[in-house]
């Protein structure tokens, strides 16, 4: 398989897990994040991924910079055939949603929802102008929080629910063009974002919160992304795949 995968937030955590899997599947990967190229996590990711990976500094909040990002990626690697919309932030402050400030609400929405939408929009427009081969796909990384409410981080849940609807909208718009659109809903994954709650969630997992009885790993998400990116799930466009060890299953 050959193709170019643009992965936002691909330098660490879930994004890096997906990058590893796509490189192994033969993709060239473009990692995009707001960090500088000499940031430790960026240099470590590039060293691990090897010559099939490149890094591009980009803040997803800056929607005006999207054309420049895509022009640069295309010039260096070729047209983007897979977008993995993964960049995201948690709630700045966990607490009573009745005390949530507009500034903190907007911070999460700008990155998790607004930035993701307008990047996907521009990628889709370019995909429509490109040949249908290799297979083209948009993959949105949301969260079980798209459907499971946590009142202490309302803005995060709202952003992920919005991203879930965004997936459905892109899937409907692009299905006739042969472009697959998918949503992956990770559960409790061991990443830098969850490092601060490692002990608390570890205890809850041990107590039965996750039926599979363990933390998820970035590789678990990467394994699901590969068939989406390679066209093996082409007729399943619009599919929502939980990667949560059974966390979101309804139980008595």
CB-based contacts of 140, cutoff 8 Å, min separation 6:
85, 116, 120, 163, 164, 166, 167, 170, 181, 182, 183, 184
Distance of CA 127 to the CA centre of its chain: 19
Q: Which of 55, 135, 156, 201 is catalytic?
A: 156
Rg (CA), the chain: 17
On whether the CB atoms of residues 164 and 108 are closer than 8 A, the answer is: no
Query: What are residue 180's phi and psi, to 5 degrees?
Result: -80, 140
On whether the CB atoms of residues 82 and 139 are closer than 8 A, the answer is: yes
List, edge to edge, every strand of the sheet that includes 179-186. Answer: 53-57, 28-33, 4-8, 82-85, 136-141, 179-186, 240-243
Among this protein's residues, is 156 annotated catalytic?
yes
Residues serving a catalytic function are 156
């Amino acid at each position: 398989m050959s193709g170019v995968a643009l992965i936002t937030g691909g330098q660490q955590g879930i994004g890096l897990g997906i990058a590893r899997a796509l490189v192994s599947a033969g993709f060239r990967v473009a990692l995009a994040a707001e960090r500088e190229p000499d940031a430790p996590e960026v240099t470590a990711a590039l060293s691990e991924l090897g010559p099939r990976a490149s890094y591009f500094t980009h803040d997803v909040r800056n929607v005006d910079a999207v054309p420049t990002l895509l022009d640069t990626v295309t010039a260096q690697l070729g047209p983007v055939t897979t977008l993995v919309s993964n960049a995201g932030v948690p709630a700045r402050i966990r607490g009573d949603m009745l005390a949530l400030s507009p500034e903190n609400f907007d911070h999460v929405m700008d990155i998790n929802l607004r930035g993701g939408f307008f990047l996907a929009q521009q990628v889709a427009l370019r995909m429509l102008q490109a040949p249908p081969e290799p297979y083209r796909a948009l993959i949105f990384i949301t969260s079980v929080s798209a459907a499971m409410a946590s009142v202490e981080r309302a803005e995060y849940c709202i952003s992920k629910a919005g991203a879930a609807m965004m997936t459905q909208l892109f899937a409907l718009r692009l299905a006739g063009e042969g472009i697959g659109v998918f949503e992956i809903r990770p559960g409790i994954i061991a990443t830098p974002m969850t490092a601060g709650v490692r002990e608390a969630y570890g205890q809850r997992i041990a107590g039965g919160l996750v039926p599979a009885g363990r933390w998820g790993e970035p590789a678990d998400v990467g394994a699901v992304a590969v068939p989406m990116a390679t066209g093996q799930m082409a007729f399943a466009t619009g599919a929502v795949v939980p990667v949560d060890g059974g966390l979101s299953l309804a139980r008595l």
